[in-house]
Amino acid sequence: MTETFNFTSITLIKDKYDGVTIDTTTLPQDLEVFEIELYQIIKHLQDKRLLWIRLSIENSDFIPLLTKHDFIFHHCNAEDITMVKKLIDNPIIPTAINHTLGIGAVIIDSGKLLVVKDKIWQKYKLPGGYIDDNENLSKALKREVFEETGIKIKLGSITHLGHFTSAQFEKSNLYIICSAQALSTQINILDTEEIIDAKWMEVDAFLNCQDVHPYNKNIVKNTIENRGLKLEDDNIFDEKQRELFF
pLDDT at 16: 85
Q: Minimum mean pLDDT among 2-6, 79-83, 110-114, 206-210: which range?
A: 2-6
Q: φ and ψ at 238, to 5 degrees?
A: -75, -35
Q: Do 223 and 124 lie in a common domain?
A: yes
pLDDT at 235: 66
The secondary structure of residue 186, as a DSSP letter, is: -
Q: Which of 7 and 238 is assigned the larger pLDDT?
A: 7
46 close to 52: Cβ distance less than 8 angstroms = no
pLDDT at 17: 84
Q: Do 79 and 186 lie in a common domain?
A: no
pLDDT surpasses 90 at 20? yes
Mean pLDDT, range 124-138, rounded to an integer: 94
Q: Do 111 and 217 lie in a common domain?
A: yes
**Which domain-ending residue is among 35, 63, 86?**
86
pLDDT at 194: 94
Report CA 2 to chain centroid distance, whole Å: 26
**Which domain-ending residue is among 41, 65, 86?**
86
Residue 91 within any structural domain of the chain: no
CATH of the domain at 17: 3.40.630.30
Q: Which of 231 and 204 is assigned the larger pLDDT?
A: 204
Q: Please list the alpha-helical segments (H only) found in 14-88.
A: 31-44, 63-68
Mean pLDDT for the chain overall: 92
Q: Do 120 and 76 lie in a common domain?
A: no
Sign of the alpha-carbon dihedral angle for 75, 138, 242, 238: positive
Count of residues making up the chain: 246
CATH of the domain at 143: 3.90.79.10
Q: How many domains does the chain have?
A: 2
Residue 119 within any structural domain of the chain: yes
124 close to 117: Cβ distance less than 8 angstroms = yes
The single-letter code of the amino acid at 175 is Y
Judged on CB neighbours under 10 Å (0-12, 13-18, 19+), 149 is buried
- pLDDT band of residue 230 (cuts 50, 70, 90) is confident
Distance of alpha carbon 118 from alpha carbon 195, whole angstroms: 4
Residue 92 within any structural domain of the chain: no
Q: Do 217 and 110 lie in a common domain?
A: yes
- pLDDT tens across 39-96, in order? 999 999 988 999 999 999 999 999 999 999 999 999 998 899 999 999 999 999 988 8
The secondary structure of residue 25, as a DSSP letter, is: G
| Nearest C-alpha neighbor of 150 from the set 127, 178, 179, 122 | 127
Q: φ and ψ at 165, to 5 degrees?
A: -90, 160
pLDDT at 73: 97
- pLDDT band of residue 37 (cuts 50, 70, 90) is very high
Q: Do 124 and 238 lie in a common domain?
A: yes
pLDDT surpasses 80 at 203? yes
Percent of the chain scored above 90 by pLDDT? 75
- pLDDT tens across 160-194, in order? 999 888 777 778 889 999 999 999 999 999 999 99
The two beta strands, 19-22 and 128-130, are: unpaired
pLDDT at 240: 61
pLDDT at 150: 98
Distance of alpha carbon 56 from alpha carbon 64, whole angstroms: 14
182 close to 107: Cβ distance less than 8 angstroms = yes
Sign of the alpha-carbon dihedral angle for 164, 165, 171, 172: positive
Q: Answer yes or no: pTM beyond 0.85.
A: no
pLDDT surpasses 70 at 237? no
Domain residue limits at 33: 4-86
pLDDT at 171: 80
Helix (H) or strand (E) holding 140: helix 137-149
